[in-house]
Amino acid sequence: MEKRKQYDLQKRLVKFSASVIVNISTLKKEFASEQLIKQIIRSTISAALNYAEAQSAESRKDFIHKMKICLKELRESQVNMEIM
C-alpha cells in the first residue's frame, strides 16, 4: 500500500503564528504599528485555532464553514503584512 504524503497543516499554522509573534516583536512601537501588531497576532492565531476546530467539525458543511473562516483569517494576515 502506497503511503500518502501528509501535510500537517495544523503544525504549520501553529509554527506560522509563533514565527509572526517572534518577528513582530522587532517592530518599532508606534500607535499605528501597535494596532497592526495586535490585529495580525489575532488573525494568525485565529487561523490556527479555526483549523484545529475544523478537524472536529460536526458535519461536512460545518467543516467547510470553519475552513472558510481559516482562509479569511489568513487573507487578513496577508493584507496586514502588506500594510506593515
Q: Classify residue 11: in a domain, yes or no.
A: no
Per-residue model confidence as pLDDT tens digits over 28-83: 888 888 899 999 999 999 999 999 999 999 999 999 999 999 999 999 999 999 99
Which residues does 70 contact at the CB level (< 8 Å), separation at least 6?
13, 46, 47, 50, 51, 54
Which pLDDT belongs to residue 30?
Answer: 87
Tell whether 3 is covered by a domain: no
Measured in whole angstroms, how far is the alpha carbon of residue 8 from the centre of its chain?
14
Owning domain of residue 81: 31-84
| Banded pLDDT at 5 (limits 50, 70, 90) | low
CB 48 within 8 Å of CB 16: yes
pTM of the predicted protein model:
0.82
Residue 9 placed within a domain: no
